[in-house]
Amino acid sequence: MVVISNDTGSIDILLGSFEGFADQYGYRTGSNSQCVVVGNFDNDAQLDFVVVNRGASTMSIFRGNAERIEIVKRYAIHQNAAEVARQFQDRYDRAPPARNNILNLVRKFDETGSVEDEPRSGRPRSVSTDENREHIRVAFEESPETSTRRASLGLNLSRTSLRRMMKELGLKPYRPHLLHDLSDDDPDRRCEFADIFLNLVADDSSLCDRIVWADEATFKLNGHVNRHNCVYYAVENPHIVITQDMNALGVTLNKEILPAIESQMNLRKTFHMHDGTPAHYAQSVRDFLDRTFPNRWICRRGPIDWPARSPDLTPTDFFLWGFIKDRVYGTKHRTIQALKDAIITEIRDLPMEFCRRACQSVPERWQLCKDLEGEHIEQYL
C-alpha cells in the first residue's frame, strides 16, 4: 500500500503480509503530492512508482527495492548466501544475484541501515534549487523582455535548466500585439459606431449575415512582419501592445464585388462596408453607393460613419487577411505572379464556415469596444 502525506511532503510504503502490514518505509517527495503510478518502468522485474507533485510541478521517481529487502530478510534467517540465491530463484523464476552481490548488499544494509544506493559523488545533477528559481523570478520581473539566451548567460545556467525552472515558476512567453495608433478622437468614434450596430443587431439578429465586409490588403514577396523574437515573459498576460502608423506603400488587392453580391444576397437588405481610402472615395463612387445601398453603406463620412484605425472591428482585418497571409507565406514565392496565384488559391480554398463564424463574432467585439471606452480590444481577446 502507498499512502500520500501532503502535510509532510512524503509517502509511506506498507508491505503486506498474511497478518496485515509487516513493514513500513517512508520517502520524501515534493509539495502537494496528489497521484501515484505503480509499474515496472525500468524492466528489472521490480515494481517502481512515480509520484506527481502538483505544488512543485515535478515528479518523484522511486525504483523498487522489494527484491533487495527480500534478500536481506532471508539472509538474516539463513545466514547463507547460497540458500538465499536458491530461494530467490524459486520465488522469482529467474537467475539469482551472484553470491558476492548478495553479501555486498547485506554488508551495505548492516553499515547504513538501507538497501538504497548511496548518493553519487561529483557535481550535483540538478540546479533546480530554490535559490536559482528566486534569481530567475527576480531577473524576469525586472526585465520581462529578456531572451532566454541572455538570461541563461547572466544567471550562469544552461538554457534547458533555465526553461525548466521558468516552467516551474509559471513564466510563459507572451507576444505583443501590433496595433494602429489611435488619435485623440478615435475612441469616441469607435464607441458611437459600436452603439449604432449593437442597436441594429438588437432589432435584427440576422444583421451580421447581411453585411458585406470589403477591404484590401498588401502582400509582399519578402513576407510579413516577424515578431518571433519580441517576447515578454510573465506569469500572467501583461497585454503588451506596440502601436505605430500602419500606412505603407505596396501592391494592394481589391475586386469589383457587386455581381457576386447580387448572386448571393438581396441588395435591398444588404449593408456594405466600403474602404475609405482617397482613391475609393470619389464623388462618383459615393453616388453609386447611395443608389445601390441607400443608407446602408459603411465608410468614413458615409451614412454609417466608419471609425478610422479600427481593424479589430472588421473580420477582414482581424481574421481574413491574417489567415490568408499565414497560408500564403508558408511557401517562399519568387515572382509576383506566383504570389498572386497563391493568394487566389488560398481564397478559393477558405472554408465558408470560418468566414461565417468570424462575422458572427463581430457583435461581441463591438460590445467589448464599448466596455473599454473605445480603446483597442485585440489584446483582451
As a whole number of angstroms, the distance between CA 82 and CA 84 comes to: 5
Distance CA 173, CA 161 (A): 16
116 within 8 A of 65, measured Cβ to Cβ? yes
| 212 close to 270: Cβ distance less than 8 angstroms | yes
**Among 62, 52, 71, which residue's Cα sits nearest to residue 26?**
62
Count of CA atoms in the C-beta half-sphere (13 A) of 248: 12
Q: Which of 145-149, 245-249, 363-367 has the lowest mean pLDDT?
A: 245-249
Residues 6+ apart with CB under 8 A from 251: 218, 219, 220, 336
Domain for residue 123, yes or no?
Answer: no
Residue 260: inside a domain, yes or no?
yes
pLDDT per position as a tens digit, 5-40: 766 667 777 666 555 555 555 666 766 777 788 776
**Statement to judge: residues 188 and 319 lie in one domain:** yes
The whole-number average pLDDT for the span 201-210 is 88
Q: What percent of the chain has pLDDT over 90?
A: 7
Domain assignment present for residue 261? The answer is yes
Whether residue 274 sits in one domain with residue 144: no
Whether 335 is covered by a domain: the verdict is yes
Q: 231-245, 251-265, 279-293: lowest mean pLDDT where?
A: 231-245
Q: 216 and 330: one domain?
A: yes
- CATH number of the CATH domain containing 181: 3.30.420.10
DSSP three-state, residue 329? coil
Residues 329 and 357 in one domain: yes
Q: What pLDDT score was predicted for residue 345?
A: 93
In a domain, 122, yes or no: no
Q: Are residues 316 and 201 in the same domain?
A: yes
96-133 pLDDT, tens digit per residue, is 889 998 998 888 888 887 777 665 555 555 677 888 88
- What are the grid coordinates assigned to 293, written together? 445601398
Please state the length of the chain.
381
Give yes or no: residues 233 and 335 share one domain: yes
Model confidence at 177, pLDDT cuts 50, 70, 90, reads low
Average pLDDT along the chain: 78
Q: What percent of the chain lies above the pLDDT cut of 70?
A: 75
- Decide which of 348 and 227 is more confident: 348
pLDDT at 244: 45
CB 246 within 8 Å of CB 224: no
pLDDT at 225: 45
The answer on 373 and 325 residing in a single domain is yes
Lowest mean pLDDT among 196-210, 236-250, 325-339: 236-250
Which helix (H) or strand (E) is 13 found in, with range?
A: strand 10-17
In a shared domain, residues 324 and 281: yes
Shared domain for 204 and 326, answered yes or no, is: yes
Tell whether 349 is covered by a domain.
Answer: yes
Instruction: Kindly state whether residues 16 and 101 are assigned to the same domain.
Output: no
Q: Is residue 8 in some structural domain? A: yes
Number of folded domains that form the chain:
4
Q: Provide mean pLDDT across the span 173-193.
A: 78
Contact status, residue 222 vs residue 286, Cβ threshold 8 Å = no
205 and 340 share a domain?
yes
pLDDT in tens, 39-93: 766 665 567 777 777 766 677 776 667 778 888 888 989 999 999 999 888 887 7
The residue segments making up the domain with residue 144 are: 130-170
pLDDT at 119: 58
Q: Given this model, what pLDDT does residue 118 score?
A: 67
Same domain, 190 and 308: yes
Residues 6+ apart with CB under 8 A from 5: 11, 12, 33
Query: pLDDT tens digits for 323-379?
Result: 888 888 888 888 888 888 999 999 899 998 998 999 999 999 999 999 998 888 877
- Contact between 231 and 147 under an 8 Å Cβ cutoff? The reply is yes
> Worst-scoring range by mean pLDDT, 53-67, 229-243, 268-282, 308-322?
229-243
* pLDDT computed for residue 229 by the predictor: 45
